[in-house]
Chains A and B, each alone.
Chain A
Amino acid sequence: MTDAQSDSAPYAIELKGISKAFGPVQANKDISIKVRKGTIHGIVGENGAGKSTLMSILYGFYKADEGEIFINGTLTPIPDSQAAIRAGIGMVHQHFKLVENFTVVENVILGAEDGALLKPSVAKARKLLTELAAEYELHVDPDAIIEDLSVGHQQRVEILKQLYREADILILDEPTGVLTPAEADQLFRILGRLKDEGKTIIMITHKLREIMDVTDTVSVMRRGEMTATVKTADSSPEELAELMVGRKVLLRVDKSPTKPGQTVLQVRDLVVHDEQKVERLKGVSFEIRAGEVLGIAGVSGNGQTELLEVLGGMIAATSGEIVLNGDSIDLTGAKSDGQSRRKRGIAHVPEDRQREGLIMNFAAWENVAFGYHHDPKYQKNRLFMDNAAMKRDTAEKMEHYDVRPPDPMLQAKNFSGGNQQKIVVAREIERNPDLLLVGQPTRGVDIGAIEFIHKQIIALRDEGKAILLVSVELDEIFSLSDRIAVMFDGRIMGERLPDETNEGELGLLMAGVTKGAA
């Protein structure tokens, strides 16, 4: 669609002066946007900038304190989600709202059945699904069970659900968070088709590259305010990043070439079974040398989590060998737990900081000792812990790592994602480990903090430490790694040097395609 056309189209959505506060926190301040029909509009902003709140207001989860919503030019109050659906708004959440053991067609009609009997609805839905599939390239087997589908296909079901409810306006919240690059490309093609058919799409994301690729216009939010709305074609990632953070941001980490030393970690034929006796790691071997970052790329769920957990002492291995600084370390039993690993100089920034890395109900000072709570410096005597020492230590680390607010007494759950992660990173890196395990270091972390955390990781590498980085963000893998290994289905598909490969090649490896087989 050309600009001339879209300029003449009516506004599908117009928000005027939307404000919303949660207690003392002003989540949205006097926000106005206009989105023309048949366009893709991106909303970017750091975590906590108010993007999700704004979309929740549009979808009727929250009621705005002030402001008006116009849909296709008419004032439309949206007190609840039912009203939003009636107004033709559909939302695809970041975490899918699907019933895992229902079929596609059952999920699509769920909540929108025509009557007490299912059969007519199912027949109607099946017919409509076929039509929609043809129209928008949204091919999914209507009788497949959701849990058997790939994440990309599950997302299609979510979109189909909205189309079945005759949504003309689609809101997508971080839609590519769980997709492979290829799946994301497919999604963007689908979005393109939807746009061509006159649907209006609002996409929330923090990935600037996607904004550049697919949107027509983009709004930037910062601290609850709309700082700019621009035509995507007239902007650049650097400009958008600056608008988001409020200052210039380095999108790539500056780092010197690696000077690898002796081998720190050797993993040989590592096999791991989960609690259901399913083989998760199927003979993984690699090594990391001092002063080197090994990046593990892959779609989540292909064994990366188990790899980190075995190395970090969270689960036992079935067979294989892990050698750290020349010594073989225990794979099972009492000497394979997190405490033993820490004693050997392995630090671990876990993938899920809210479930694992932090105790959300603990104060920051309690979290700074977490995992190292046996350290003599945190004990007052044989009986009691030294809370004052922990608080002092926390205040110090908070200052070094610029954690905001720098209040050791605040509970972890009251910090933003970026600041939570800074607490974890500070705790692990300040132990000066020989080997640092890092899982998804910047998931749900704002751009300013990403830059900071990346710098800390590279600084540790430059001190001659070994680093194992697991990330689903290819950008992150490329910018931090000295070598890249790709995991698929519990195996390492291959190793590449970041300068000698590209996203396309890694994408194929991530999908399990090797050159020989292709």
Chain B
Amino acid sequence: MTSDMILPFYQALTEDVNALSAQVPALATDTLQDIRRKALERFSAIGLPTLKTEAWRYTNIQRYLKEFPYELLSTASPVSEAVINSTAIPELDCYRIVLVNGHLQADQSTLPQGKGITVGAMSAHTTAPGFVTYFNEQHHLAAESLAQLNTALFADGLYLELAANTVLDKPIHVVNVYSCTAHAFIQPRHLWILNRNAAATIIETSVHPETATIAFANSVLETVVLENAELWHYNVQQGAESFREVHTTAAQQHKDSRYHHFNFTLPNTPFTRNNLSVALNGSHTETNLNGLYIASKHQHVDNHTFMDHIMPDCNSNELYKGVLLDNANGVFTGKILVHQEAQKTNAFQQNNNLLLGAKADINSQPQLEIYADDVKCSHGFTAGQFSEESMFYLRSRGIGEDAAKALMVNAFSHDITDAVKVPALQHFLQTQIAEIMNN
């Protein structure tokens, strides 16, 4: 094979993934190059998921990978302030970090500064002690071939580390811009570390400004919440017709830490897969996983979550709610693994759905594996429609059918939106939900 011959992306993925590694810039350290090589080997060994892959039974990712002739995109071109502002959250007092295809745009960002705060491009921090200790350390990533692909081919992302006792005074808003002039496969890679007693709130939004070219993001975020630290992480996926996304978050928690993860998937991205795993590496932790997905038209939204109770005396609460309109398709998997040592675990999981479209559907599967004998675990699933009596009550007061539906959807999602601790974000989400339902 000659070096200037480039295989189409999907073909390369399935036939010669090594050809792709020549297309990404070399990483800074030998250790990293070694990690990359191993990930590539691992990806080649496990291959792309098929419908026979247990974790992908209801999501045919190959269909989406074949949909357009993607090219691997590892660089960023400048984007306008208008594009960035299109995803602004009104009244939100925050630091702003702008990433284009994973590359930090320092001149368009307002970075938090001060003692104990390290923030910047991943590529500039590959020798930082936090990076060396925690990068690619989360073992849940090894099982996920898309995460291996990311490790093998990523170019850059956001590195954030808060030193012990560092508490951010206001939220960070990370604006993920995915921009391309041809159909592109983009792989940002992030690592956030909160050391002992540190605390932060991070809100992510994303935008793909082009409508004629498709951006397919395969991003991986590792978060490390160390002893008694607390992280509030909100991921708001405001979609676009020309966007596709596989989003993998691998979190680890240490002793006495608190981790609150919120995932909001809104229309109109045709394909979204969120992998979320939390490994509890210490005792007395608290974990809240909240998800709200509102999907319309032919959207396919798959939330794949994994609560890994490794240590005793930990609490986890998981609540995912879905509103499926039109022909939308939802998938929820909630795995809870309670190891034999993890006595006194409390792990609760709930998945509730409103099926409003004539052809909407949901596949929901709780997977509880419990090897300890002194635990409290529960799971539940519902799928239903609006109560006719409630609809009639609202309409009998002069509220039109659409506005009544909007009220009901807001009501359905209120236990998720009420748990949002940032008022501006909460208001923003409620407004978004009302707007979606009014259209």
Partners in one complex: no
Binding site for B on A (CB under 8 A): none
Binding site for A on B (CB under 8 A): none
